[in-house]
Structure 1
Amino acid sequence: MVIAIGFEGSANKLGIGIIKDGEVLSNPRHTYITPPGQGFLPRDTAKHHQKHALDILRKALDEAKVTPSDIDVVCYTKGPGMGAPLVSTALVARTVAQLWRKPIIGFLNPYQPSDIEMGRLITGADNPTVLYVSGGNTQVIAYSQRRYRIFGETIDIAVGNCLDRFARVLKLSNDPSPGYNIEQLAKNGKKFLELPYTVKGMDVSFSGLLSYIEEKAPELVEKGEYTPEDLCFSLQETVFAMLIEITERAMAHCGSQEVLIVGGVGCNKRLQEMMGKMAEERGAKLYATDERFCIDNGAMIAQAGWEMYKSGQTTPLKDTFCTQR
């Protein structure tokens, strides 16, 4: 029996989760929310994490009904992410590991196997093609020849970043998240605005599309030609169609009959609906999670750490640094 605790604080969410042999014992989280139309700055986000770290840690232990002596390994996110929040969270993880005299594991990857492993654990997916979509990542990933390999990705900004930045243009609330509020508005959109559709082989590009709709939106809304709901609907439909195209191509290449959506944008019901239709047409099966596990959380870090610890891997204390990239 192995119990792992995971610390996640790479962006505006601070999460601490505890896993016991594949069972989620606790997974509390606290989100830093800024005023409508504003993003979150690294310094202010780090202060949020510092303020709430001990309360979230206590809540995680209490909900899991475990004590520090029960913990076998401490895990945390080394990167990628925002520098100041990453460092603040890593400091808590390092301190806890030394106070409790436990080994520590840090994750530093171009993509997060923690998201994938948590998705597989929760959904029961065996060997899926993975669409990893969040504020910092947009990648199509599959396991091949004993490692995860990237088959396609964004060549500029992530899809979550694209949605968040457009939400600022419309001055949408950041509570609970900009992407969620875009999703709700899009449900009432009726008029489709054709936007740049940029798929280059197995890769996608969102920056040109974002620049186009950012420039057009104020004028279109002011003239009454399109409503904010129409623009959210048009943006969602376009970017999701791009993502599904490259995911289907990867599934065909790998001969995969499973597709798993992970990452914060993976909570979007419209994305799940569109991906489900594609999977159904291929005779494949869609797996997806809800906001408890697709948004940044500590349990996904604990699960990936549990996997690494079981295979004999830990991180020397001298290597417990952080990096934004």
Structure 2
Amino acid sequence: MSTATLPQPTATLDQLELNYPGQAPVLRGLSWQLLPGQVVGLLGRNGAGKTTLLEALLGLREPQAGQVRLFGQAAAEIDDATRARIGYVPQQSDLFEGFTPAQLLSYFKSFYPRWNEAKVEGLMSRWDIARDKPIAKLSGGQQQRLSIIRALAHEPDLLVLDEPVASLDPAGRRDFLRELVDQVLDRGTTVVFSTHILSDLERVAFNLAFLQAGRIAVQAPLDELIEQVRSVQGSAAEVQALTQACGAQVLRSHALDGGQERRLIRLPADAAAATAALDERLQAVNLEDLFMELT
């Protein structure tokens, strides 16, 4: 009997350690893997290190220890062909403000053999960006859209976006998120984006990764987390007994007054629905609950 071949990871991060002088460590033995076709929403509190993690993923920031590989190559030493497979939208726009959008896109087109001019023209028209207006005179939302177009134009196999929708209105965010989904469905692109807008994650992030204390605390498909994760509260002994009886994984634990305890637990996939239905002490959680507990 033949076995299915697992896809080569788009990115592998192994035991990353990264800190800044005089500050607490940002990444602490962080390991993470991204696969082709995944859309991963990266969640973390302000200052948790999301931008640092994304920069380390792309080889833009060198860790003190550990290794990052992109498409099988060391991130700090990728060749031009591999670099052309990556799209990046940083949190702070790095557009050349003295250029017009037409000049900017023409400049970047020269670096990418897979540049899709039809996609560029379609998005420029749909998002109503003037081609010949100085970038410095575009609104913040238009500049962010232009940065996204630049990252999508060469049809990358890995697309990394750091707070990509912060300057967009709700209609602009929905349009952008549809574009992301189409990119994944059409090409199997791996997409990683950080955002603080939880409703956007519910629309498109098939996987969520929670950054806490310098590590990825949990990564899993959103629907699995909603189905399997429960909150339980009671005496410490009762909570422990229930956790063991369910065969559950403890994600977070909080000691409360009077010997009480609250736990966030993840039920086994094959028993999640049945177990949750049988015990009313297991309370369902939503995405906001997960964010508050896991970041």
Scaled by the length of structure 2, the TM-score of the pair is 0.27
Higher strand share: 2
Higher relative contact order (CA 8 A, sep 6+): 1
* Larger Rg computed on CA atoms: 2
TM-score normalised to structure 1 length: 0.25
